[in-house]
Amino acid sequence: MAFSALLRPALLAAARSPRMERTVTKIPVTRSLVDRFVAGQTEDQAIAATTSILDSGRYITIDHLGEDTTDSAQADATVSHYLTLLSDLATLSQKTASTSPTSVRNVEVSLKLSALGQFLPRDGHKVALENAHKICTAAEEAGAWVTVDAEDHTTTDSTLSIVRELRKDFPSLGTVLQAYLERTEADCRDLSGPGSRIRLCKGAYKEPASVAYQGKEAVDEAYLRCLRILMNGQGYPMVASHDPAMIAAALQQAKTNGRTADEFEIQMLYGIRDAEQLRLVGENKHLRVYLPYGEQWYGYFMRRLAERPANLTFFLRSLMSHS
């Protein structure tokens, strides 16, 4: 409880602090710890990690790290990274046999629209839409899925507007909804129609009480309400959680609603609860690993430390052992 009340908000604030970024990235031990959560900086490194995960029976979603881009050249560079990645992924991508409306794909990429130009001072919304469309087109050619990541609440309206526009050409496009936002139950109902894919997570940004539930109990209850909506719906729920209680609830609700293993999936982050991931695969559950790569790892790394006391403890112990 003390962790949530004090350290988590501080770490989330630090995730967007340039001064803290300069400090943390200069600590010699940081790089080795980042490797636990980030699969390298290049497409080749991401592909190597992806191949290992696919060989284990797990599925993959790959995120080229970066966000809050205000430079059009940087947005273009992000698109280029995704196009190169998808070209490399084409030989690894395959559909599974499925009775669900959406034929399950083992390979996916995840996009942050702010990395594609959403915050550009002129026509940012339009630029992000066009860039995402290019990536979705390449993904279709590669046989891969695409899911649009969620960011802080100030981007939600723009992001979901772009998702609705993209779905006209790419009906299988997935999107992420964050249970800690008070609006999310309504968004679950609105976006989870036939053929839809919704990744439900608790939320990883520092949000004000005016728009988001603050305590763990309230967030857990919101997650379960949203989960029920998705499992009762006509889409393909993607349950993003490491919380044993949430995973157990998802499996029970799937069973109650008569969903087969091909009609939902569990998602976990690269480097977290690896043994549990493999256990679920051994029980014939679809388990997808969220695998990030790239040079802009700082914000992602700090949010992982903020999520669980165990992550922060691991980081601090390593710092002490190298001091």
Catalytic positions are 149, 199
Instruction: Please state, in angstroms and rounded to a whole number, the distance separating the CA atoms of residues 150 and 36.
Output: 23
Query: Nearest 5 degrees, angle CA 137-CA 138-CA 142?
Result: 120
Instruction: Please state, in angstroms and rounded to a whole number, the distance separating the CA atoms of residues 87 and 6.
Output: 44
Per the CB < 8 A criterion, the answer to whether 208 and 237 are in contact is no
Query: Nearest 5 degrees, angle CA 206-CA 211-CA 217?
Result: 75
Which burial class, exposed, middle or buried, applies to 155 when counting CB atoms under 10 A from its CB (0-12, 13-18, 19+)?
A: buried
- Tell me which residue of 18, 118, 109 sits closest to 68, measured CA to CA: 118
Ramachandran angles phi, psi of 168, nearest 5°: -60, -35
Return all residues near 158 (Cβ < 8 A) that are at least 6 apart.
113, 118, 125, 128
Q: Give the dihedral sign, CA 304/310/316/321.
A: negative
Per the CB < 8 A criterion, the answer to whether 201 and 176 are in contact is yes
Query: How many residues make up the chain in this entry?
Result: 323
**Other beta carbons within 10 Å of 241:** 20
Instruction: Please state, in angstroms and rounded to a whole number, the distance separating the CA atoms of residues 296 and 15.
Output: 12
- Tell me which residue of 290, 266, 279, 281 sits closest to 46, measured CA to CA: 290
Instruction: Please state, in angstroms and rounded to a whole number, the distance separating the CA atoms of residues 142 and 132.
Output: 15
Element spanning 252, H or E: helix 244-256
